Structure 1
Amino acid sequence: QLVLQLPLGVDRLFDSYRAAASVDHGDWDGLRLCVAEAPIDRTQFLGMRDVLLAPLDQVIPPKGAGPEHEMLFSGYEYQFSQMSRAFLHWARRMLRFQPTDLIWARPDVPASRHFRHRRLQDEMLLAFAEAQGGRLQTAMALALDAINLGDADEPLRLCAPDLEGLLALAMGDERRPVLRLLADLSTPTGPSPLGAWQMLVYFLPLVSLGDLDTLTASARLAERIASRLGSPRGQFVAHSWRVAAEHLARPARVHPELAGLRAQAEHSGPGLQVLAQLLSALNSRRPDEFASTARTSCRVGNMWALVSSLTWIAALNPNAHSGRWLCALLEATGWRRPVLVPAEIAADAALGLASLGFRGRAVVELASTAGRPNILLDVALRHVDDTAAPLEARLAAVEALATLGTTRAGEVLARLGRRNDELGRRARLVSERRRRTGLSEREVEVLQLAGEGLTNREIAERLSLSQHTIARHLANARAKLGAANRTEAAVMLEELEV
């Protein structure tokens, strides 16, 4: 607000700051005044105006006067048009683009902060791009590195731990991260409205894996910001995610705004069509609609939507072509908890892949992450009994059996433990680990969370289980350890160094 009140024509530095703030806040009248009355570089600010106010079907960045303008406009353009592959290629090009002389010559750019910030910006934007259109493993490594880059109060640095936690969740981790994102956005040192919209949209696909209230609040905030900016594409992206959040809250009903969303998507660029098509397919549950979404996702390089569409197909209508495609993507991208895919659908997809003869560590981990014991048992048995399956996949199946804690799983592990090969050695190892306490992996996990002070309700939310199931796991753990209460059981477990 202070920068927006700076007088024009007094100092070129003030003029540039005010023009940049006008863009960041969607103050288009203010920007028009700056361009008309101040001696500033109009190309930069008018190009940004053209990106933010572009129609739904624009996918090509505005032309600039030099490479610095091309790189600036492209990053924003590919996010607003949701062209994931183009955004990933741009983020990689940014690593090779460093206009030091240009920055040094501009008094309106604080050089010291710029050079500190550039490394943080490059790594975090590449991490977001990899999460959307590349490999989660790469995105995780970049997020971990970014935690120590830039200044301590930089918004991108502050959100790096949130990105790390959500990526771990997408890769199969059971721990639900506690996000700081919404709280940090509202601080005095938080990003501008435009920066906040960008941050929210980067996170929305991953946030959908966790708390529904956070997803809904984030989508609504992004929609309000985009409306204030007057950005058609910004509003459409946020609107799509709000409809997605409300669909997750009431999946049985047809969302009243879905038809309007699809009508707009038909006149939008392909990147903006992806989520609208996926929401339509979620409503109809028709394999041909998911196949259409998969083709559009592939066209723009949107990996999370492609994996989600193929997972639905594998659950509803498994076939060799889509199954082979899904297995390859699961192995390459690291996704184990697909976006907008309920746990029961992910479990059915893993079973569908296994029934078609596909074997792999990713298939076992997809079934394990889904948390459906009967299906995990079936998938694991198909792997351990298939001598043609890769050894890595069969070992993963043995480890998955050890997490079940059922009589049938124990019998299979005992049978495998009599073998003298690598499979037998792994079966004996995981069985011994269980015998040390008599607890299943799930009981250990629940007891550890109880030891951290979490209530049954909080544990149930963290593990996506019912409170009744959590109470049963705690009761079983207490009985096996001979503990009087949950606190004593947690202490005994810690003493056993599980």
Structure 2
Amino acid sequence: MDGAITDGPLGRELLQLMLSLPAGVDTVFDRYRVAAMLDHGDWDGVRASLPSQSIEPLEIRGKQDIHTAPVERSEIPASEIAHHRFVFQLWEYYCRMAAGPLRRWVQRMFGHYPKPLWDRQDVPLGRHLRYRQLMDALLMADAEAFAGRLPLAHALATEAMTLGDEGEPMRSIAHDLSELSRLGLGDRNEFELQIPKRICEPTGPSPLGSGEMLMYILPMLPLKEDDGLRWAADLLRDIAARLAFPRWQLQADYWRVASELRAGMPGKKTELVALLARARRATPGLKAVPLYLQGYAERRYDSFRDAERLARHSGNVWLQISAMTWMTAIDPRPRIGMRLTQLLEATGWRRLVLVPAEIAAEAALGLTSLGERSEAILEMALTADRPNATTEMIRRYIEDANAPTSTRIAAVNALGRVGTTHAREILARLAQRRDDVGKAAAKTAEGPTYGLSEREIEVLSLAADGLTNKQIGDKLFLSPHTIARHLANASAKLGASNRAEAAVRLHRAGVD
């Protein structure tokens, strides 16, 4: 029943053709008519087709049962057929946002080719193998992104972009997942999402297919500082209402609330209270995010603690890290600090989901005050782009005689990346030392004078052309608040007291 294998780049056009054909002409067409009905939420048409001998009622009923199940349901439909059990598990884990079980499922299924798929007469063998290679890599990338190691997720998603056939919609997912993973790793890459464009094309996916594409990347969309999260949440909300999928509806609603909170809307003006009430009986993976959003809106430690516990239960490692980061920023505690440091080191996350830069910087300082010393913490602080807080944290690393020499040298290198006048003064003093730290400082001090990011240079250059923060934000698709932060950081790194002086110093340095 996996229509995506045959749909390929044709998408909705093929599904609409299937729906226009009369029933009973051909068993293969009958199967795909039902698949198209499922994709469009035509439950009456599905029910009428079940008596046909050419349809697999167990698989159809199982898929319908999973997608239309209430938020508290966690049972997987029973089946004596192994292939059905595998398919039901995949759908169920995505619906209840259980990244840990999904990751274990992907590891079991990798390279497994069930007999019913080999027996299909409607799919050329080469097409099936190419599609399965793409799906294996993409599912593994998605599972690693949310429950495992982010560098591996990026590598797998990048590989998936070259698999399958030309025009394959799954390649768009692979592209977006690859680029979003880079953001999570701390890169400053600028890119345009391909999934929205793909969905809006005439040959784009069905409503169900569109929702499935969004589910691959929704938890990572907050990493982009644009309105993509709100657009995706609104679209998923419409799809879930049309298809009558309660668990998708809940996820769409909490990502909508997340987009509003991230934009600065007070929690009382959002649907957060109603969302918490609806999620009270939900399974752990679905219940965790609303509790996290409550903590985000109210700066409530207990809400983050409960969200972290539920995220751990469902294997959503990305949410564990974000929740513990908030907890450490609010009230640093040794056990949480140790676990957070271990997860940062193991997973590669540096820019965190729904964790403002100032909270990440505060958490890095909190971890440092607890005695944690790790290059992962340094990198998270640098990604937060808060020069003063990062400089203070680095100073503590360097002055800690008990810290490993390699970690102290990494701190010196990080100080060079901060790039502020104060940081350069510290480097100059350190360079006078005769130990390994002094040698590293001297070498770092010989590098570029300014540690400006590409985005800071771009914003400052536009400001020098006379554009206001709002005009710059409109041009770069960023909020005025983000533009002001980039200008403040650039001014600090250049040792300037205002944007005009910073622009002059940038020009004199020849950076632009």
Q: TM-score, structure 1 length as denominator?
A: 0.90
Evaluate the alpha carbon distance shift between residue 20 and residue 392 of structure 1 in structure 2; reply closer, same or farther with a 3 A threshold: farther
Whether 2:126 is the aligned partner of 1:112: answer yes
Question: 1:209 deviation in Å?
Answer: 1.1
1:345 maps to what in 2?
359
Aligned-partner residue type, residue 509 of structure 2: K
Evaluate the alpha carbon distance shift between residue 213 and residue 358 of structure 1 in structure 2; reply closer, same or farther with a 3 A threshold: same
Whether 2:441 is the aligned partner of 1:412: answer no
Helix, strand or coil for the counterpart of 2:268?
coil
Evaluate the alpha carbon distance shift between residue 422 and residue 30 of structure 1 in structure 2; reply closer, same or farther with a 3 A threshold: farther
2:9 maps to what in 1?
none
Aligned-partner residue type, residue 331 of structure 2: N
Evaluate the alpha carbon distance shift between residue 448 and residue 343 of structure 1 in structure 2; reply closer, same or farther with a 3 A threshold: closer
Evaluate the alpha carbon distance shift between residue 375 and residue 349 of structure 1 in structure 2; reply closer, same or farther with a 3 A threshold: same
1:68-93, Cα deviation, whole Å (9 max, x unpaired): 11111111110001111111111112
2:145 maps to what in 1?
131
Percent identity between matched residues is: 40
2:57 maps to what in 1?
42
Cα pair 2:219 2:353 within 8 Å, conserved: yes
1:367 maps to what in 2?
381
Evaluate the alpha carbon distance shift between residue 410 and residue 66 of structure 1 in structure 2; reply closer, same or farther with a 3 A threshold: same
Cα pair 1:169 1:176 within 8 Å, conserved: no
Evaluate the alpha carbon distance shift between residue 299 and residue 368 of structure 1 in structure 2; reply closer, same or farther with a 3 A threshold: same
1:442 maps to what in 2?
452
Evaluate the alpha carbon distance shift between residue 253 and residue 354 of structure 1 in structure 2; reply closer, same or farther with a 3 A threshold: same
Aligned-partner residue type, residue 294 of structure 1: E
Whether 2:488 is the aligned partner of 1:478: answer no
Q: Which runs of 5+ in 2 are unaligned?
A: 1-15, 491-498
- Structure 1: distance between partners of 2:424 and 2:153: 37
Question: 1:134 deviation in Å?
Answer: 1.1
Cα pair 2:211 2:236 within 8 Å, conserved: yes
Identify which range, 247-256 or 326-335, moves more after superposition.
247-256
Question: 1:160 deviation in Å?
Answer: 1.8
- Structure 1: distance between partners of 2:460 and 2:302: 45
Question: 1:34 deviation in Å?
Answer: 1.4
RMSD: 2.4
1:110-134, Cα deviation, whole Å (9 max, x unpaired): 4332211001011111111111111
After TM superposition, the structure 1 = structure 2 runs for residues 298-337 of structure 1, keeping only pairs within 5 Å, are 298-337=312-351
- Structure 1: distance between partners of 2:169 and 2:318: 25
Evaluate the alpha carbon distance shift between residue 316 and residue 443 of structure 1 in structure 2; reply closer, same or farther with a 3 A threshold: closer
1:23 maps to what in 2?
38
2:242 maps to what in 1?
228
- Structure 2: distance between partners of 1:252 and 1:59: 33
Identify which range, 36-45 or 363-372, moves more after superposition.
36-45
Cα pair 2:294 2:300 within 8 Å, conserved: no
- Structure 1: distance between partners of 2:483 and 2:405: 31
Give the alignment partner of residue 277 of structure 1, picking from 291, 295, 299. Answer: 291
1:172-224, Cα deviation, whole Å (9 max, x unpaired): 11223322221111223332221211221221121111134111001100111
- Structure 2: distance between partners of 1:390 and 1:448: 37
Question: 1:46 deviation in Å?
Answer: 1.3
Cα pair 1:243 1:255 within 8 Å, conserved: no
Cα pair 1:4 1:18 within 8 Å, conserved: yes
- Structure 1: distance between partners of 2:453 and 2:275: 44
1:455-474, Cα deviation, whole Å (9 max, x unpaired): 85456949944274465544
Evaluate the alpha carbon distance shift between residue 41 and residue 109 of structure 1 in structure 2; reply closer, same or farther with a 3 A threshold: farther
After TM superposition, the structure 1 = structure 2 runs for residues 228-307 of structure 1, keeping only pairs within 5 Å, are 228-307=242-321
Q: Which runs of 5+ in 1 are unaligned?
A: 482-488, 491-498
1:428 maps to what in 2?
442
2:20 maps to what in 1?
5
Identify which range, 232-241 or 422-431, moves more after superposition.
422-431
- Structure 2: distance between partners of 1:46 and 1:21: 15
- Structure 2: distance between partners of 1:173 and 1:227: 36
Cα pair 1:413 1:428 within 8 Å, conserved: yes
Q: How many correspondences in the alignment?
A: 478
1:406-433, Cα deviation, whole Å (9 max, x unpaired): 3321122123323444433332222111
Identify which range, 405-414 or 4-13, moves more after superposition.
405-414
Cα pair 2:257 2:270 within 8 Å, conserved: no
Evaluate the alpha carbon distance shift between residue 460 and residue 54 of structure 1 in structure 2; reply closer, same or farther with a 3 A threshold: closer
Helix, strand or coil for the counterpart of 1:237?
helix
- Structure 2: distance between partners of 1:263 and 1:379: 40
Question: 1:33 deviation in Å?
Answer: 1.6
Whether 2:209 is the aligned partner of 1:195: answer yes
Aligned-partner residue type, residue 507 of structure 2: R
After TM superposition, the structure 1 = structure 2 runs for residues 36-115 of structure 1, keeping only pairs within 5 Å, are 36-99=51-114, 101-115=115-129
Helix, strand or coil for the counterpart of 2:332?
coil
Aligned-partner residue type, residue 90 of structure 1: W
